[in-house]
Amino acid sequence: MDRIPILKLGNLLLITIQSEIYDSLGIKLLNDIAETLEKHNSKGILLDISSVPIIDSFMGRIINNIASISGLMDAQTVVVGMQPAVAITLVELGLEMPNILTAINVEHGIELLNEKITKLNRIDETDQGEKDTD
């Protein structure tokens, strides 16, 4: 059975979708990501879709769900490399992706994730500091 590989890169997970994606593969990916996040306590997900030629409403929903679920599990998601024709099609299809962070390529995606994670760590530390002085 097909499966999309999830690579661990420090505290990030890197997922590159290289094949055409269909419903059952998308659902499997969503479950695999949730399990891998828990296993490695990862703080960020980089979803590279630069080789994906078609994203329909179902796949769009899977991507939205990946971001929502990872958010609940204390991880940020960045989607990288959406093809221009795919982006225009998604908008005309009426699919909204309000909570998705995007980057133009993997390099920028990693930078963005690291920035977000460092910022969140700082907020955590400040919170902790305030509690300590109480």
- Cα–Cα distances in angstroms (integers) from residue 13 to residues 33, 116, 126, in the given order: 8, 15, 26
Among 4, 32, 36, 56, contact with another protein (rule: CB under 8 A): 56
Nearest-approach distance from CB 93 to another protein, in angstroms: 4
- The footprint of another protein on this chain (CB under 8 A) covers a number of residues equal to 22
Phi, psi of 13 (to 5 degrees): -115, 130
Tell me the window of 4-12, 27-35, 52-60, 126-134 that interacts with another protein (CB under 8 A).
Answer: 52-60
Q: How wide is the angle at C-alpha 131 spanned by C-alphas 125 and 134, nearest 5°? A: 145
Q: Which amino acid is at 90?
A: L
Where in 75-104 is the site for another protein (CB under 8 A)? 83-86, 88-89, 92-95
Beta carbons within 10 angstroms of residue 91's beta carbon: 11
Among 7, 54, 104, 120, contact with another protein (rule: CB under 8 A): 54
98 vs 6: CA distance, rounded Å = 24
96 vs 89: CA distance, rounded Å = 11
Tell me the window of 4-12, 35-43, 49-57, 70-78 that interacts with another protein (CB under 8 A).
Answer: 49-57
Nearest-approach distance from CB 59 to another protein, in angstroms: 9
- The residues that touch another protein, with contacts defined as CB under 8 A, are 20, 22-24, 53-58, 60-61, 83-86, 88-89, 92-95
